[in-house]
A = this chain, B = another copy of it.
């Protein structure tokens, strides 16, 4: 008997990777205007390499970019990049067109809803608040709060327990095979993969359900509830 649905956040409930990418491109243009001595493509490629090396939660991407290109620290250029990145990201931030419809439909079915997300607690809550969807969720758990992130199955078990559910009573929805679908299945949840974001073309045959849009989750959960 399905009693709840747990969601990943970034790229599952809203478009994270393409907005971040557009914000980074705008930031680079502004940094070049402020004196960064590179072409857009050069700077973009270096930035991508830094993000890959240091992870997306590292908070000195632009510092490293300026050092890599200029050979020294240039606070004005770095700050122009950071301000522009945040301004553009906030300007673009919105749920997928069917996110709120999906959450309403699931709530109407009497289901508990939750979020299990990697990231800094305040940053992830900020996204939920700015997206206008925070009040749909009974529980939100973050890797920072738990001390261990995906794909550790203990993190998923912690989230399910906080919801007051057993694994077989919960459906998990996420975009990544390696960090969402596989560990959710290991824990004993039914998992639905949403084909969005930068990992949408990654191969992975383990997932029983794949959807192109969030609203399809409603039909699957209805069938699972029986």
Is B134 a contact of A83 with CB atoms below 8 Å? no
Flag whether A76 is at the interface (Cβ < 8 A).
yes
Q: Which of A73-105 contact B (CB under 8 A)?
A: 75-76, 78-80, 82-83
For this chain, the copies found in one complex come to: 2
Point out the residues of chain B lying under 8 angstroms from A54, CB to CB. none
A–B complex contacts, Cβ < 8 Å, 22 sampled: A75-B121, A75-B122, A75-B125, A75-B140, A75-B142, A75-B145, A76-B125, A76-B129, A76-B134, A76-B140, A78-B122, A78-B125, A79-B122, A79-B125, A79-B126, A79-B129, A80-B129, A82-B122, A82-B126, A83-B126, A83-B129, A83-B130
Count of residues in A whose CB is under 8 Å from the partner chain? 17
B residues less than 8 Å from A134 (CB atoms): 76
Measuring CB to CB, which residues of chain A are less than 8 angstroms from any residue of chain B? 75-76, 78-80, 82-83, 121-122, 125-126, 129-130, 134, 140, 142, 145
